[in-house]
Amino acid sequence: KTAFKDAAKDLSVSSDQLNAAMDYCAWLMKVMDNAYGTGSYDLIASRPDNWQQMSDKYGYEYNPDNLGTYESQRDALLKGMGDAAKAIGAISGDISTMTKIINLYYLTEDSTGHTRLDYMSAAFKNAFDALKASSGNFSTGMSYLDQVTKYLASNDPLDLPDISSDYRTAMEQMFDDLGSISAGLSRLSVETATYSNQIVSDMKAVNDQFNVVMMRLCDILELALSKDKKDIIEDVSEEELSSTTDGKVYNCDNYGKVDGDVNVGGVAGTMDIEYDFDPESDSNVIKDSTLTAKYFTKCVLLDSKNYGDATSRKDCAGAICGYADLGVISGCEGYGTAESTAGDYVGGVVGQSKGSVRNSFAKSELTGRNYIGGIAGYGMNVSGCNTLVNLNGSGNCVGTIAGEIDPDGSASDNYFVHETEAGID
């Protein structure tokens, strides 16, 4: 009985800690959404009513001024999630203990195949049967007593001796014992009903709490997975372009033919962080992101030339680079042909670029369906470039500088020579 009460008490403590940890994590997500997303939460008003108590008891930081850096937010979220995981483990252990006690004490069969609950049920049945039988005997006894009373009333008064003190003492002791038995049976009945209701109530509370935990975890995961790639990775390729040595390809010339399925370039295939299991598949944005880190990346392709032919069967073919999701291409020259036999995005320097292309030159023959450009089939920032190209595009977006420039990008100080096509379609 004591062990069961202790387990129930521990379950209540663990549930309180789980609630506190999940409330803290939910509030931290609002802090991070304000800092890195589009949130505009009132971080003071949105704190839980008992935030001061949780801060004192569990060490949770609820002062937004102390959570102004990414590292402080990350550490706080790790603590909250760690406490939640520990609380879930403790709840599981408490439920296991309570289940073992119930199975061991109340549901374990003896050598006759009966449990304590069986004996308790039988005892209560016998008691009620005895009360029922005594009710009939009581009625019969009252009838006999009535006859005796009438008989005694018809005779002379009886001269009864005084009852001795020993007899009175014995009678009082008997009544006390009967009262104790009655009180014990009452307590047994109350405790049996109480623990039965308590077990059912605790199980329902545990189930409800698990539902709350799972829903909150799903909300956190949904917010994490909705993060854009730019929230996780910051491109710093523009910094110290000439002096940097990390993440840099410099002064490379190619004279050979390059052929592939997708993202084909005379010097580099892709300038990107690859996440797919199939390295030849089309490059995608991040499918899974993390809340605990932010990465800085640098990718530079500088002063390189290509004289060979670059051919892709699908998207993204460029005389210098096939696909650039980030980074800078500067001072490069493309002289060989670039072609996509069944795809889009072909460029005299890069097939598709979401970074920057500077001070580069193209004198190439370019062939594909859509998005054909003298410098980039599709570009973000293109500046200081020159082209003298022959364009063979069968679809939309064909230009001597770029087939299309991203709405958030720019094109400046670029020159081209062509009889019919414009610089940007």
pLDDT at 291: 47
**116 lies in a domain?**
no
Query: How many structural domains comprise the chain?
Result: 2
Ranked by mean pLDDT, which of 69-83, 107-121, 150-164, 333-347 comes out on top? 333-347
The pLDDT-based confidence of 255 (bands split at 50, 70, 90) is very high
**154 lies in a domain?**
no
pLDDT digits (tens, 9 = 90+) for 189-234: 666 666 566 666 767 777 777 777 777 776 766 665 565 556 666 7
C-alpha dihedral sign at 346, 351, 352, 355: negative
For position 259, which CATH number holds?
2.160.20.110
- Domain end position, chosen among 226, 241, 275: 226
Cβ neighbours for 238, distance < 8 A, ≥ 6 positions apart: 328, 356
pLDDT digits (tens, 9 = 90+) for 27-43: 888 888 888 777 788 98
The pLDDT-based confidence of 147 (bands split at 50, 70, 90) is low
**422 lies in a domain?**
no
**262 lies in a domain?**
yes
pLDDT digits (tens, 9 = 90+) for 334-371: 999 999 999 999 999 999 999 999 999 999 999 999 99
Examine the domain organization and report whether 218 and 294 are in the same domain. Answer: no
Examine the domain organization and report whether 196 and 292 are in the same domain. Answer: no
Cβ neighbours for 160, distance < 8 A, ≥ 6 positions apart: none
Is pLDDT larger for residue 158 or for residue 186? Answer: 186
**67 lies in a domain?**
yes
**423 lies in a domain?**
no
Examine the domain organization and report whether 329 and 402 are in the same domain. Answer: yes
Examine the domain organization and report whether 237 and 199 are in the same domain. Answer: no
Which parts of 102-164 fold into alpha helices (H)? Answer: 116-153
Task: Copy the structure tokens of residue 313.
Answer: 């069967």
Examine the domain organization and report whether 219 and 239 are in the same domain. Answer: no
Examine the domain organization and report whether 51 and 188 are in the same domain. Answer: yes
Examine the domain organization and report whether 243 and 378 are in the same domain. Answer: yes
**Of the ranges 38-42, 250-254, 279-283, which one carries the lowest mean pLDDT score?**
279-283
Examine the domain organization and report whether 335 and 204 are in the same domain. Answer: no
Examine the domain organization and report whether 258 and 243 are in the same domain. Answer: yes
Examine the domain organization and report whether 211 and 246 are in the same domain. Answer: no
Q: Which domain holds residue 317?
A: 232-416
Q: Can you say how many angstroms the Cα of residue 369 is from the centroid of all Cα atoms in its chain?
A: 42
**208 lies in a domain?**
yes
Q: With beta carbons less than 8 A apart as the criterion, state whether 300 and 327 touch.
A: yes
Task: Copy the structure tokens of residue 329.
Answer: 């291409």
% of the chain with per-residue pLDDT over 70: 66
- Domain end position, chosen among 183, 211, 226: 226
**399 lies in a domain?**
yes
The pLDDT-based confidence of 151 (bands split at 50, 70, 90) is low
Examine the domain organization and report whether 303 and 405 are in the same domain. Answer: yes
Examine the domain organization and report whether 252 and 205 are in the same domain. Answer: no
Most distant pair of Cα atoms in the chain: their distance: 150
- Domain end position, chosen among 197, 226, 255: 226
